Chains A and B, each alone.
Chain A
């Protein structure tokens, strides 16, 4: 029975966040289309695309974990027949799905466009996956932090740190010696790209494991 409550909580979050999920997909999709209109369109669209991805992740993590806790909606959820640890795991799954859906849709849009468009450099698929991987890793770090940290200022600092890391990441991947290797028709997984994507996957797994440990050991759920 607790299993059905678990999935009911997951479905509930997906339902309540549906507007945000659609907004991220629409905003990211429009930004991507904009990227096809010349150099300025590419620059502005690119920034908007990344912003939709990053801001979407922040909003989902904040609304899903922090707001529910701060506004005491959590008390209602915890009054249902579920343990605190099960509630934490349901929240983890629903948050991942809520971000995973728009993230997956936008990643697929970019990758498929690069693969199918005759004018595109197919090698940029690696660049796109590095970027999108960073987004997902950033989201998982923010989510893990919000599970651990209970104060709003500390949560804000965590989000700020993730954003600074993203800026540094962008500076690094846009270096000509890295970017230049990807502007080809061949998909080449350079050692740097392999290291980056591998690191991103590791960060995601570590964050997930961290949250699972925290939720199973947490004694106080409110």
Chain B
């Protein structure tokens, strides 16, 4: 049986008006067809200005689409019922700084029609989950960027959503905060929730995502499991070796040597593998492992998208 969809977009398009007097249209998203399945962690990747945030804002109703259809949790976008079952974290969230995190969560709970008791319980649990219990009663104007981000994540979870949409959830977080959010996403997945998140931090996408979609210039370039998108480069092999100093190692087909503590990582042409192995052994070293080189997401971005924008995985779009 096929896994049900939590999100389906068909031909979703959006353009922005630019200029004041002579307005012209700047396309931001071209006919996006996207499907997110129940229970998966779905990464939404792309360089600056590729249309990631535009897509998420369209889903959440912050922008009106020019064309296309959206279905959320099997319901048409225009049916507000799905909003009770979805959570959303905007990019760089600004939460009311005159409120405490506790008060803000209580306010959000009221919008979902929760009782005072449920709001209090849920608020406490969420603040603990995002490690903000200690500052629960502090006005958010005194929060750091990372604390605001975590409070933003907490507000997205108030209604215990089935489907969570996170725009750059790791943005502004220190390593501890990033770890906390990574664990949270994995916990949500384990609990059967669906998570769609955009990110420019590629290792996070590699760690967390079941599938990713890659956008470029408002067009969907690729979608699928990472293993499918990140092709194996069988023309080159990675050799891990130890017990030698490879600085002066000479062998035909050896294209890269990289010291990793006591070990050396060598990249060699597949057809020259035998010669390199013999050269390592002749230099007194031993081979630890040999495997085909797997393209990283970073490699993919650099190769496929050619360093668009201010960087291949920059911030705003």
Are these two chains actual partners, yes or no? no
Q: Which residues of A contact B (CB under 8 A)?
A: none
Q: Which residues of B contact A (CB under 8 A)?
A: none
